[in-house]
Structure 1
Amino acid sequence: MANPVLAPLSSAVAFAYGILTMILYFLMSVKNGLFFEKPTKEFQSELDAARTRFWNLSEQVDGLRHQFLTLRDGFKFHYVTNVASVTPDTPSKPLVIFIHGFPDSWVGWRKVISSAQLQDACSIVAVDLPGYGGSDKLQKYTATEVLEKLTEYIIALRERYGFDGPTHDQTSEKVIIVAHDWGCILAMRLAADAPQLADRFILTNGPLVGLVSSNIKRRVSSAVKLMKMFLHSPLQSRSMLGKALHALKPVIRQVALSGYVFSLQLPLPFVRLQGASGDRALVRMIHKMAHGPVGEYTVKDAAESMAGSLGPSAKEGASETADHEKYSENVARQPFSEKFVHMTSYYRHGTSVRRWNKSIETITGLYGLGRGNDLGRRSSRAGVFDEGPKGALKANATVVWGLNDDALDPRLNFDGIGDYLVHNSQVITLPRSGHFTPVEQESVSALQKIVEWAVAGEKDDVDPVVKAVYPGASVTLRT
């Protein structure tokens, strides 16, 4: 039961910290000139061109076609793929599903999935999460709502691409899920609670919530014990104070880095203000930071990044695919302030931490992927009802981490991660990359090679494969 005094106090502290962070981001956007910057004709022209290029359903973009998949309840997922159509005669290739993070859409993967070598080697699907890009929005973004939709989508996608039909050869084909940021958080939950969905999860710069929570509790508990020792005998135990502060240092740093999480959970008028004010200055600032320190951030780069966040306009909403499918009416016409509310609702509704109540349809679908064979898949031998450490992944996973992440402290995200991974998993660190690995120039090449390695059957050691394009990259853990 919640403490009647502490509960309102913690809410007040969270609210105050959210307001403080919102003001800080406002000042940052003013300082770097973004807040009062008026869009130039060049930027507006590039933005219009980028939205047409990325969201016109009748056109291909970098060899990718627009498609939709409608779930049982009518919810419509938008995705792009390099496969025109799937028939019994379609050559058998691995299926790679890319899941983006905040504040992106499938466009956030454009630098990775435009690889001709990757497109030739596998069937690519880059999906827009609910509330993002061209996919429908939800009334609520609870863990159950989002994970149920995403699981049904992946099961249906597997069937559409012929992975679970009567002629499917489980020994030669793979399904691989590649995910970043919020997509990574969701994919980790799937790897923990629905490992049957894929043969390997490639997970980049998103927190494994159970591990982070455990590390925070452990460090806070240690700090409390050390402080008690110090207070009991201050003169004789002076060193205990320094040790307590050292134990808390990663926690304090993570709270500072996570200020945006508190600001995005403020009352809706504040959230809309953050999304729309200063001509969407906050989102533009995030994209500029995501570009990384290498290379010039051009007007075209800025326009393409914003086009990915904005999604289709009314103009693209009038287009249709070769199968005469269109975006839902509310997708192309909603103002960005409302789209921003949907994008941030993953933070607001506890999608990362709250319980996923699986429906009978989901359990049945996951069971069907194992074909009743000990409720398991060949990848991890994990089943629908397997138990294990809370939040532990039960499918083969390759964790790829940019060490210069300015949103997540690596000590909280890595300490003890081996306990959360199954056999045949790895942790790969990229020392010069930050949080946005699918966007930064050097980490894009690394991700492409890691995906190619998985698609090719994981025949060689991944370490030299990555180092060939990213000197200094390292496989820091194998299980």
Structure 2
Amino acid sequence: MSLSSALYSGISFILGFTTLGVFTAFSFIDTRTWQTTSIVSLQRLRKAQHDLWTLSQSTSSTSLEHKFLCLDSGLQLHYLSSFRREPQKSLVIFLHGFPDSANLFRHFLVPSEPHGTATQFVALDLPGFGGSDSLATYSATGVLNAVTEAISELKRRYLEDGASGGRCILVGHDWGGLIAYRVAAETVGLVWRVVTINTAYAPLFKSNAGKMTEECQRALRKLSFRTAWRESGPWLSQLLKSSYIFMFNLPMGLLAKWPFIRRVIDHELRWIWLNGHNANPESPVPSKASNWVQELAISQASCYGPSVDECATHDAEGLSYGPSVLARASCKPPGDWLQRIRLYREGLASRQWVFAEKLKQFEAPSRRNSQRFRCAVTVIFGLQDIALDPRIVLDGISGYFTSSDVLGKTHEMYRTGEVSISRSTSSHVLSLMHCGHWSLLEDTGTNTLEGVLAWAVSGTAEQQKDLSVVLGEKGVVLGRDVTLDVLR
């Protein structure tokens, strides 16, 4: 190990252990989070888990159904879908992040307003989350091959053109967005457009952090301390926001033996449910009305996944949740969270992706020599993100977009839908001034995502309206709460 690697490992351990100590202290001090979420009774939680996860009957109140995919490896993935029986012209696939499940997107699976074209909406549980089986390894190869095979199979099931084409739109939040970025950069012919929500693209993140470090070092050599402080600001901000990642990357033996680890995890989940899933911008103290309490219970049930009782149910085809899902349901708190944080530990963000043989048809040529996106990308980002500094994850993102004329030729080559070079292959960055990390659950973010999807699936290029017009119809006022940059 080189001296620099040893130094980085040492600093990472110190930061991680310090964060673990701070989080442990907060789990005892932050009585507001415990008291507020304790109003969710065990009975209410059990009902929410039953409503969200039971396979014995369809959730008629939301018009959703539970379905499974069995991959070639034997891995079983669970997903939620809107009720459709005939092949569709468009397919929208949602990927959640940590610590969520497919239920994060349940409100988007049945649009409040019909779109101009027949569209199937699907929300997939990532491996090890929700109702999907756990993986032996959460490397880039393991997770990305599983997700890519699932996308291909979903296209075959729901699109008129099957797995070989069709208008497939991949939407990802947090880790789901990071996966979507990698799909955009390293595959061709798999998806037509990618939409990311409050996530980071690893090459840009690394590039911006490196540039800021170099500028800071240059200023220090000139003894310009004020400049050095200014240049290091975004980097230090991100370091603070990412402190939990250093904790997640502590030796697993240390985490497993930490006497308060269960309490720390439980507290962090409760904080997310209170301040992320159920953030109330009108008041720092959420209402204790029954509907809010119910939403809090749904947030818990969504993240925990199926309970032991739901694991005993079967769908119409006789399928049930796998043994690893049952094992996660039996943990306290439910979910086996030390297993789930392996997303952060095993290189999913940046390590090499080795395509499985059957998926090599989607592998982009010379992908390791180019980090540009190979399909149109729409970025939605809430600027009040608690985990990501926009100066690190947004500045310079336009450098990774490919021009519309190149995208048009690529889409035509791979038969991924009708293309308008001036519109449908445009890429966008939508900055939401007052939204946080779970922007899609806030009013402005919800309307923005619905507007983007309505625009993206609205038929041929000739039928498409300008995105700004569609957003306006959804009540999104550009320039006041949202800024839109169109990158052609």
The TM tier, using the shorter chain, reads 0.7 to 0.9
Which amino acid in structure 1 is aligned with residue 475 of structure 2?
V
SS in 2 for 1:442: helix
User: C-alpha root-mean-square deviation of aligned residues, in Å?
Assistant: 2.4
- Residue in 2 aligned with 1:260? 244
Residue pairs, 1:391-406, within 5 angstroms = 391-406=371-386
Correspondence for 2:158 among 156, 161, 179 = 161
- CA distance in structure 1 between the partners assigned to 2:392 and 2:183 by the alignment: 21
Bigger Cα displacement from structure 2, 291-300 vs 149-158: 291-300
- CA distance in structure 1 between the partners assigned to 2:383 and 2:377 by the alignment: 18
1:73 equivalenced with 2:73 (yes/no): yes
Classify 1:32/1:176 alpha carbon distance in 2 versus 1 (closer, same or farther; 3 Å): same
- CA distance in structure 1 between the partners assigned to 2:326 and 2:255 by the alignment: 20
Per-residue CA shift, 1:282-326, capped at 9, x if unaligned?
111112121223363632122111111110011001111111111
Give the % identical residues: 29
Which amino acid in structure 1 is aligned with residue 41 of structure 2?
F
* Equivalent residues of 1:132, 1:339 under 8 A apart: no
Residue pairs, 1:187-202, within 5 angstroms = 187-202=180-195
Classify 1:113/1:276 alpha carbon distance in 2 versus 1 (closer, same or farther; 3 Å): farther
- CA distance in structure 1 between the partners assigned to 2:161 and 2:271 by the alignment: 43
* Equivalent residues of 1:35, 1:278 under 8 A apart: no
Residue pairs, 1:51-62, within 5 angstroms = 51-61=49-59, 62=62
1:347 equivalenced with 2:334 (yes/no): no
Correspondence for 1:442 among 420, 444, 447 = 444
Residue pairs, 1:221-370, within 5 angstroms = 221-230=214-223, 240-269=224-253, 271-272=255-256, 276-277=262-263, 280-290=266-276, 291-294=278-281, 296=286, 298-334=292-328, 335-336=331-332, 339-364=336-361, 366=362
Which amino acid in structure 2 is aligned with residue 282 of structure 1?
E
Q: TM-score, normalised by structure 1?
A: 0.86
Bigger Cα displacement from structure 2, 175-184 vs 106-115: 106-115
Which amino acid in structure 1 is aligned with residue 435 of structure 2?
S
Which amino acid in structure 1 is aligned with residue 212 of structure 2?
R
Residue pairs, 1:405-420, within 5 angstroms = 405-420=385-400
- CA distance in structure 1 between the partners assigned to 2:385 and 2:118 by the alignment: 30
- CA distance in structure 1 between the partners assigned to 2:466 and 2:47 by the alignment: 42
* Equivalent residue pairs, number: 443
Bigger Cα displacement from structure 2, 454-463 vs 219-228: 454-463
1:63 equivalenced with 2:59 (yes/no): no
Gap runs ≥5 in structure 1? 231-239, 368-383
Gap runs ≥5 in structure 2? 405-425
- CA distance in structure 1 between the partners assigned to 2:6 and 2:87 by the alignment: 59
* Equivalent residues of 1:35, 1:279 under 8 A apart: no
Classify 1:121/1:431 alpha carbon distance in 2 versus 1 (closer, same or farther; 3 Å): farther
Residue pairs, 1:177-216, within 5 angstroms = 177-216=170-209
* Equivalent residues of 1:99, 1:128 under 8 A apart: yes
* Equivalent residues of 1:54, 1:107 under 8 A apart: yes
Classify 1:114/1:25 alpha carbon distance in 2 versus 1 (closer, same or farther; 3 Å): farther
Per-residue CA shift, 1:165-209, capped at 9, x if unaligned?
49x8x5xx4111111000000110011001321111111110011
Classify 1:157/1:12 alpha carbon distance in 2 versus 1 (closer, same or farther; 3 Å): same
* Offset at residue 438 of structure 1 (A): 2.4
* Offset at residue 451 of structure 1 (A): 1.0
Classify 1:270/1:35 alpha carbon distance in 2 versus 1 (closer, same or farther; 3 Å): farther
- CA distance in structure 2 between the partners assigned to 1:293 and 1:39 by the alignment: 15
- CA distance in structure 1 between the partners assigned to 2:124 and 2:18 by the alignment: 34
